[in-house]
Amino acid sequence: MAETNTVRMSLKGTFYQSMDAKGRMTFPAKLREIIGESFTITKGGDGCLLVYSNEDFERLSEAVRKLSSKDRNVQRLLMGNANEVEADKQGRILIPPTLRAYAGLDKEVAVVGVSNRCEIWDRQKWDSFNDSADIGALLDTLEGIDL
C-alpha cells in the first residue's frame, strides 16, 4: 500500500518482466508495496514510460497546471497521455497500446525504480542505456551531494 506520510520509501531497483501480446505485464510486488495497486502511467523522456503513485501524479498535475501558456505542450503530453492502471489479483497491469508503441514495448521490459517514480523501458533500450552510461560523470555528480 502506498504511504501517505511525508517520509516515503524510495522506489529503487531494476526488475525484468515479460509482456504478453495483449500488453499485460506483472508490475513488481516490491514496487507495488510502495507505489500502490493503482497508479498513473504516462510518456516520459528517452522513450520510456513514467509511473507515479496517483497521489504523486496529482501533485505533479497541480504543478503542471501552473505552468505558463508557453508550456502548453508539456501539459498536453504529460496529461493527455496519462492513464490510471490497477494491478489485478496476479499483480498484472495492462499498458495501453499508445504507450506501448511510444516506448517500443514488445516482449521484454525493464521496470526501474527511480526515487519518487518508476520507469518502464524496453529491455534492449535499458541495457543500451546502461552500457553507454558515463560512470565517471555519475561519480562526479555524487561527489557534489552532501550526505
Residue-wise pLDDT tens digits, 46-81:
999 999 999 999 999 999 888 877 788 888 888 999
* Number of structural domains the chain divides into: 1
**CATH code of the domain containing 91:** 3.40.1550.20
Establish if 9 belongs to a structural domain: no
Establish if 129 belongs to a structural domain: yes
The three grid cell numbers given for residue 134, joined into one nine-digit string: 558515463
Establish if 68 belongs to a structural domain: yes
Establish if 4 belongs to a structural domain: no
Task: For residue 80, give the 3-state DSSP assignment.
Answer: helix
Torsions phi, psi of 64, nearest 5?
-65, -40
pTM value?
0.88
The three grid cell numbers given for residue 133, joined into one nine-digit string: 552510461
Task: For residue 68, give the 3-state DSSP assignment.
Answer: coil
